[in-house]
């Protein structure tokens, strides 16, 4: 099975900061990677798919990049609504998928 | 508008059974991948099971032979039948719609989750 590793596990930042989260796959997944945001007590929300395609309605301050085994999620200017936990998920398989362990973005 | 509403979560004893439901609106469950993802208290997301639009079923190793995913197309509802429940199955269970993208699927809509607690 493909393993997904996110870093850091926790990130402390302030409003307006540029934030970058990394996700590494244990083997190449081409660009078949999605990013989700989960606010406390809520279901996850899709932000990005195919590594860099922004889901409809997601603010343009979110962006994704990468291919193969290394991917990043960037928030260009952190807003109050962005304090949440972020997960990557590979989908280089028609059956099983795997999530990263999550990155919590908290207020500094 | 796409909506997914889970129900059926409860407190159940180890070895017991439970059925979760996910009522969908705004699209047809029969035309999409549909899946379950769980989240243990304070932990990350764990993929549990998915049914393809063609009705092929897939399970995580941790639940295979104990959980069964199914759907009722007429009621536009997804189910997760859980048996031989263990303490480690305690989690919030999310229903999600899978979107096929050439080689696999990601989840574009999620429900709010339903809590399953396995404890004596």
pLDDT confidence bin for B17, thresholds 50/70/90: very high
Are the beta carbons of B106 and A30 separated by less than 8 Å?
Answer: no
**Which residues of B fall within a CB distance of 8 Å from A36?**
45, 107
**Which residues of B fall within a CB distance of 8 Å from A102?**
44-45
- Whether the CB of B1 is below 8 Å from some CB of chain A: the reply is no
Of the candidates A1, A98, A2, A101, the residue with the CA atom closest to the CA atom of residue B40: A101
pLDDT tens for each residue of chain A, 108 residues long: 899 999 999 999 999 999 999 999 999 999 999 999 999 999 999 999 999 999 999 999 999 999 999 999 999 999 999 999 999 999 988 888 999 999 999 999
pLDDT tens digits for B42-97?
A: 999 999 999 999 999 999 999 999 999 999 999 999 999 999 999 999 999 999 99
CA distance A40 to A83: 9
Please report the pLDDT score of residue A95 as a whole number.
86
The partner residue sitting opposite B103, judged by closest CB among A32, A38, A101, is: A32
Q: pLDDT exceeding 70 applies to what percent of chain B?
A: 100
Interface test with A, best of B22, B33, B41, B44 (most A CBs within 10 A): B44
CA distance B18 to B36: 14
Please report the pLDDT score of residue A94 as a whole number.
83
- Whether the CB of B111 is below 8 Å from some CB of chain A: the reply is yes
Token pair listed for A69: 């085994």
Please report the pLDDT score of residue A47 as a whole number.
98
- pLDDT above 90 for B105: yes
**Which residues of B fall within a CB distance of 8 Å from A101?**
44
Strands (E), B1-120: 3-7, 11-12, 18-25, 33-39, 45-51, 57-59, 67-72, 77-82, 91-101, 104-110, 114-118
Q: Is the dihedral of CA A59, B111, B39, B99 positive or negative?
A: negative
């Amino acid at each position: 099975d493909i393993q997904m590793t996110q870093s850091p596990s926790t990130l402390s930042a302030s409003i307006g900061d540029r934030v970058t989260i990394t996700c590494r796959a244990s083997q190449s997944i081409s660009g078949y990677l999605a990013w989700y945001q989960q606010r406390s007590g809520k279901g996850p929300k899709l932000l990005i798919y195919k590594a860099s395609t922004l889901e409809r309605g997601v603010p343009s301050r979110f962006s994704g990049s990468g291919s193969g085994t290394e991917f990043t999620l960037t928030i260009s200017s952190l807003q109050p609504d962005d304090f949440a936990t972020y997960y990557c998920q590979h989908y280089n398989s028609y059956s099983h998928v795997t999530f990263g362990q999550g990155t919590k973005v908290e207020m500094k | 508008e796409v909506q997914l509403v889970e129900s059926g979560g409860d407190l159940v004893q180890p070895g017991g059974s439970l059925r979760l439901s996910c009522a969908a609106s705004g699209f047809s469950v029969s035309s999409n991948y549909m899946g379950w993802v769980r989240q243990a208290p304070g932990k990350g997301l764990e993929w549990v099971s998915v049914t393809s639009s063609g009705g092929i079923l897939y399970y995580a190793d941790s639940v295979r032979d104990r959980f069964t995913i199914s759907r009722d197309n007429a009621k536009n509802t997804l189910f997760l039948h859980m048996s031989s429940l263990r303490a480690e199955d305690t989690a919030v269970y999310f229903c999600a719609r899978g979107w096929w993208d050439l080689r696999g699927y990601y989840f574009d809509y999620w429900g709010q989750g339903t809590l399953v607690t396995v404890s004596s």
